[in-house]
Amino acid sequence: MKLRKAGIATVSVLALALTATACGDDKKEGGSGSEGGGKSIKIGIKFDQPGIGQKTPDGFAGFDVDVATFVAKELGYSEDQIEFVQTPSADRENALKNGDVEFIAASYSINDEREKLVDFAGPYLLAHQDLLVKADSDIAEGTDLNGKKLCSVAGSTSAQNVKKEIAPKAQLQERGTYSECLEGLAGGSIDALTTDDSILAGYAAQDQYKGKFKLAGLKLSNENYGIGVKEGNKDLKDKINKALEKMVADGAWEEAVKKNLGPAGYKNEPAPKIGVIVK
pLDDT tens for each residue of the chain, 279 residues long: 444 444 444 444 434 343 444 444 433 333 455 455 559 999 999 998 899 999 999 999 999 999 999 999 999 999 999 999 999 988 999 999 999 999 999 999 999 999 999 999 999 999 999 899 998 888 876 678 899 999 998 877 788 888 888 889 999 999 988 889 999 999 999 999 998 999 998 888 787 887 888 888 788 889 999 999 999 999 999 999 999 999 999 999 999 998 888 777 677 899 999 999 999
53-56 and 59-61: which strand pairing?
A: antiparallel
Nearest to 52 by CA among 105, 111, 119, 97: 105
Q: What is the pLDDT of residue 142?
A: 65
DSSP H helices in 30-131? 63-74, 92-97, 112-115
pTM over 0.85: no
**Bridge partners, residue 173, by sequence:** 151
Q: Of 69, 99, 96, 63, which is closest to residue 83 (Cα–Cα)?
A: 69
Say what the pLDDT of residue 16 is.
39
Q: Which domains does the chain have, with CATH numbers?
A: 41-127+223-264 (3.40.190.10), 128-215 (3.40.190.10)
pLDDT score of 138: 84
How far apart (Å, rounded) are the C-alpha atoms in residues 118 and 231?
Answer: 4
Alpha carbon distances (Å) from 14 to 2, 7, 10, 204: 19, 11, 6, 66
Specify the pLDDT at position 81.
98
Q: What is the CA radius of gyration of the chain?
A: 23
Nearest Cα residue to 166 out of 194, 186, 126, 188: 194
Cα–Cα distances in Å, from 39 out to 6, 82, 86? 40, 9, 20
Single out the residue of 136, 28, 157 nearest to residue 89, CA to CA: 157
Q: Quote the pLDDT of residue 26.
A: 39
Q: How far apart are CA 81 and CA 245, in angstroms?
A: 23
Of 135, 136, 129, nearest to 152 by C-alpha is: 129
